[in-house]
Amino acid sequence: MSEFSSSQVVELKHSLAQHHLALLRDKATRPSQFRYHAGVLATLLAAEVTSNLPLRKVSVQTPLEVMECQELDARIAAVPILRAGLGMVTPLTDMIPDLEVWHLGLYRDEETAQPVHYYDKLPATHPPDVAIVLDPMLATGGSASLAIAALKRWKVARIFMLSIIAAPEGIRRVLAEHSDIRIYTAAIDRQLNDRKYILPGLGDAGDRIFNTLPH
């Protein structure tokens, strides 16, 4: 049983999530296929995180009669953390009409594993109603926590974190620093190693998405 309650962390149990995770983790998976599997997992996560968004009534004329339907009633933003979060953007823009995409540049210092903030175009006013932070890896939680803090400064009311793989250490940190956040992930892995990589994990997500693994 997970140490985290479902109000704090939603872990996908979907069979397709398990199947695409197996292929994503495989070290033999090449970048084009890695991007594809990451995209499917982002779609499954996006379906889950958006399942209870606010709706408003609309009147629709079908070919036969007029009926009452519903449409989204919220400004929704995706906030990919550069670089690896970019691999999760297209599935969301495909699914959510009028999605706003705001980029946040963070990288982890290789020595300290602390996030370094290098790019941010978040405006000071007019926050969206809902922000969905995208990053395939939640390791120490430092990057996610910094991103969430930036969105809170922007006064976003509802913030969700979407990660493909999360380490328990990182989840604990994010929830300790932001108890009002719900994390959606396809897998809660075992632990971090001494270089703060997730075990069993999948290696460096950004390098595998963008084919920049050292030769």
Smallest gap from Cβ 197 to ligand URA, in A, equals 4
Does position 142 interact with ligand URA (CB under 6 A)? The reply is: no
Residue 164 and residue 42 in contact, taking contact as beta carbons nearer than 8 Å: yes
Q: Please, which residues have CB within 8 angstroms of residue 96's CB and are 6 or more apart in sequence? A: 46, 50, 72, 76, 78
- Cβ proximity to ligand PRP, 21 vs 138, nearer residue: 138
Q: Which of 36, 107, 197, 210 binds ligand URA (CB under 6 A)?
A: 197
- 198 DSSP β-pair partners: 192
Q: Helix, strand, coil: what percent of the chain each, to 5?
A: 35, 30, 40
- Cβ proximity to ligand PRP, 67 vs 213, nearer residue: 213
CA distance 126 to 28: 45
Catalytic residue among 25, 35, 108, 208: 108
Which of ligand PRP, ligand URA, none lies near 201, with the C-beta cut-off 5 to 8 A by kind?
ligand URA
Residue nearest to ligand PRP (CB): 206
Smallest gap from Cβ 106 to ligand PRP, in A, equals 6
Does position 181 interact with ligand PRP (CB under 6 A)? The reply is: no
Smallest gap from Cβ 35 to ligand PRP, in A, equals 14
31-49 vs 15-25: helix crossing angle, rounded to 10? 150
Does position 139 interact with ligand PRP (CB under 6 A)? The reply is: yes
Reply yes or no on whether 109 is catalytic: no
Residue 45 and residue 12 in contact, taking contact as beta carbons nearer than 8 Å: yes
